[in-house]
Structure 1
Amino acid sequence: MKSMAMIDYPYPANFLTPLPGWPVKEACRPLNRNPSKSQRKNVWLLSHMVSLYYNYTGTTKTICANPEKCEGPYAQLGDPLGWAWQSCTEMVMPQCDSGLPNDFFPKTCPFTIEEFLNDCGKQFNSRGYHPGLIRPNWIIHNYGDHFPSASNIVFSNGKLDPWSGGGWKDSNTREGSLVSIILEQGAHHYDLRGAHKDDTDEVKKVREQEANEIKNWIKQAKEKYSKL
């Protein structure tokens, strides 16, 4: 469901795996339409979500969600365990799930590095992983965390994207030539995808704004250097 939320576009797409338009709504439709107190029926309804993500086309004979046993939907992006290894070594991002009643994912909040190491060990100890490999501050040490001279950047985030929590700002704002744009109905890099006939009006306006920002940067640069 987390990955499905990331690619919750208003039209059919196959960025990670083939899915219908607005896949989260489609996945939740049976639960909303047929609420039940029967655990057996609820498990069946949840299986609909799994099947939608892993076998929307109906052509997959066997559903396998274990990347160590088979190729998953991320296989087209490279080693399915590549991102997991990165996040257990250099790209440490403190994230956790609140659990019930906020969501149905197991409660993992508050985030602790000890528990994170434990989870990484379960996945990678057999491959030589050990606590000495984790560098939780590597990004800051390597790239810094304060850029007072930064300019000409548009930071766009969509509220449908679980990764938006790591964005620069959580509202539309501007600081000099740094611009934050928030899409209410935006999934992962939705504004950077190609134009589609079913695009929302919101993303059309955002793309136009982004293009105008870039045009303005170019105009200002030309004016500045034409005087030299």
Structure 2
Amino acid sequence: MYLKYCSLLLILNNFVNGFGFFNIRNTFNYLNLELSSQITSISEDIKTRWIEQKFDHFDTNEKRKWKMRYFEGLSLWKSGGPVYLFLGGESEASSSWLSTGVMYDLAKETNGAMYVSEHRFYGDSKPLNGTDANSFKYLSSRQALADNAHLLKTIKSLPNFNNSKVVVIGGSYSGNLAAWMRLMYPDLVDAAIASSGPVLAKTDFYEYLEKVNDNYEQYGGPGCLDNIKNIFSRYEKLLQSSAGIEQLKKEENICNECDMTVSENQQVFFSYKVGHFMEYSQYGTTNKIENHCKSLNLSSELRRSQNGSKSFFWSERAECNNYDFNAMIKEYNSEENDWILAWIYQTCTEFGYFQTTSSKSQPFTDNIRVDFYTKMCTALFGSEFDKKRVDAGVEKTNEMYGGLKPNVTNVVFSNGDIDPWSTLGVLEDLSYKAPAVVIPRASHCRDLFSNGKGDYEELKEARKHIKYLIKSWIGAEDYLSM
């Protein structure tokens, strides 16, 4: 690939957080990588399994089947112990969840069997290899829930597990799935942990950047938010004139052929720039947010010292940055990005989750709009995937699952209070048996990990409380004190 497209690949990485657009890492990939770094040893007892699934669980005329991958770990299991299933999300599944993390801790404390499923159309679990709308016809949360139900029924049919309680666990999108498994299959699932799950589908997800704003205002230090506003206001002003665009191209080393008068290209640029702030809010800590602000202050001072001359950032670099919308769409359509296309398809048909700048309570100017995302949907999947289609899918999703008030029991909804995704999650108890756990200073899905070095007491206590709830719901009386 030519050097001028190197930053396009960065944008591709920014474009999906696994949970929406424009965060630095795909959520499920990010969690898998972090989890792997915690593992000191991997059990030799972990097995890779495959199970036949229907293409369409709800169409009796559809006879085709495909094979779904899942992982099995029975090293901690003893007769009578529960079955734990970590639900796969929007990328390749990882067997790491069988060696550390909250599911491993629960299984160790209750003699449980552990499983990890892989979501259809991600990783090696693909009913079809195509990435057009016709192939993705069978990609939906409803079908994925039915896949996991079939897997659990198969496991429960084994003599060893006939009487075992079942607990499902998930984070981010798969946190939604965990709550919805208990909702849709209450006779099969006894309890669930729904970590950082944005259970409310929403087209214009402006609340995301409002939370980023709040985080930088609260933890960034004096002058931080004003500095961010000045940086983005300057970008906006430069893009309003040809001379300003030329100046911006020099400072940001934007490729000469990238037409920055095009609205979509400008929105790609803003999305890339905002993505860094998203990452620190979603996956960072309050200290990282503070340090990020300090680096911004330093950058601003250095830029002022240059008096508008050649940018100090890029003076030594030979490559250039291409923020071209059409080039990005073309890159998405490459074979290695099939998982990105799969998640974008789900946002275009079920969830929205379009992180916009439409709110005035954020510092990034209003240059990332809903139409940017819907244009992506139509460019990738066809003209019928327009805003009307997105809105209809969002409405259907909320009707099916109940939005912020799913009718469930024995589900714990956990969220970190600096996580921008928490703004679409359950933050108050739905009932005594559907409690919300909001963890101070915690980011996205932090409760899913095992206690580690540097974890503060509130996070450790939250994990302990979550495990206590699960044990009480499945009748593991002998283990409640652990």
TM-score of the aligned structures, taking structure 1 as reference length: 0.61
Corresponding position of 2:284: 8
Distance 1:207 1:180 in 2: 13
Residue 416 of structure 2 contacts residue 438 of structure 2 at CA under 8 Å; is this kept in 1?
A: yes
Give the secondary structure class of the aligned counterpart of 1:155: strand
Distance 1:210 1:64, change over 3 A: farther
The residue aligned with 1:164 is: 422
- Structure-2 residue corresponding to 1:85: 345
Deviations 1:128-174 (A, max 9, x none): 143264323121243344544x21111111121110001112x5x47
Give the whole-Å Cα distance in 2 for the aligned partners of 1:100 and 1:140. 26
- Deviation of 1:175 (Å): 2.1
Matches within 5 A, 1:44-59: none
Look up the equivalent residue of 1:28 and give its one-letter code: C
Q: Could you report, residue by residue, the CA deviation over 1:27-51 in whole angstroms, capped at 9, with x for unpaired residues?
A: 3221245654839689x79x79xxx
- Letter of the structure 2 residue corresponding to residue 124 of structure 1: C
Give yes or no for contact 2:439–2:458 (8 Å, CA) kept in 1: yes
Amino acid at match of 1:82: A
Q: Which whole-Å deviations, capped at 9, do the CAs of 1:58-99 have from their partners, x for residues lacking one?
A: xxx98788854668xxx89x6234333322221124754356
Which residue matches 1:209?
465
CA separation in 1, counterparts of 2:278 and 2:294? 17
Q: Which has the larger radius of gyration?
A: 2
Once residues 282 and 289 of structure 2 are traced to their aligned partners in structure 1, the CA distance between those partners, rounded to angstroms, is 10
TM-score, normalisation: structure 2:
0.32
Alignment pair present for 1:120 and 2:373 = yes
AA of the residue aligned to 2:409 = S
Instruction: Supply the AA of the counterpart residue of 2:291.
Output: E
Residue 200 (structure 1) shift: 1.7
Aligned residue for 1:16? none
**1:81-160 correspondence runs (5 A):** 81-93=341-353, 96-97=356-357, 102-106=362-366, 116=370, 118-127=371-380, 128-130=382-384, 131=386, 133-134=389-390, 135-145=393-403, 146-148=405-407, 150-160=408-418
Q: CA deviation at 1:101?
A: 6.8
Does residue 192 (structure 1) correspond to residue 445 (structure 2)? The answer is: no
Looking at structure 2, the residues matched to 67 and 38 of structure 1 have their Cα atoms a distance apart, in angstroms, of: 32
For 1:82, what is the secondary structure of its paired residue?
Answer: helix
**Contact kept? 1:191, 1:207, Cα under 8 Å:** yes
Aligned to 2:474: 218
Q: 1:26 maps to what in 2? A: 291
The amino acid that maps onto 1:104 is: F
Deviates more, 1:91-100 or 1:210-219: 91-100
Structure 2, unaligned runs of 5 or more: 1-276
User: Cα RMSD (Å) of the superposition?
Assistant: 4.0
Are 2:329 and 2:376, in contact at CA under 8 Å, matched by a contact in 1? no
2: CA distance, partners of 1:124 / 1:82: 11
What fraction of aligned residue pairs are identical, expressed as a percent? 22
Q: Structure with the greater relative contact order (CA < 8 A, sep ≥ 6): 1 or 2?
A: 2
Distance (whole Å) between structure 2 residues aligned to residue 193 and residue 178 of structure 1: 21
For structure 1, the 5+ residue unaligned runs are 11-21, 49-60, 109-114, 223-228
The residue type equivalent to 1:102 in the other structure is Q
Could you tell me how far apart the structure 1 residues matched to 2:361 and 2:398 are? 34
Matched to 2:293, the amino acid is C
Q: Distance in 2 between matches of 1:92 and 1:140?
A: 11
Tell me the SS of whatever aligns to 1:136: helix
* Count of paired positions: 184
2:296 corresponds to which letter in structure 1? Answer: L
Distance 1:39 1:206, change over 3 A: farther
Letter in 1 for 2:453: K
Separation in 1 of the partners of 2:320 and 2:367? 29
Are the aligned partners of 2:329 and 2:379 in contact in 1 as well (CA < 8 Å)? Answer: no
Counterpart contact for 1:64–1:70, Cα < 8 Å: no
State the secondary structure of the residue aligned to 1:88: helix
Instruction: Report SS of the residue matched to 1:24.
Output: helix
- Which structure is higher in helix share? 2
Distance 1:69 1:106 in 2: 26
Counterpart-to-counterpart distance in 1, 2:355 and 2:329: 23
Q: Does structure 1 residue 183 correspond to structure 2 residue 439?
A: yes
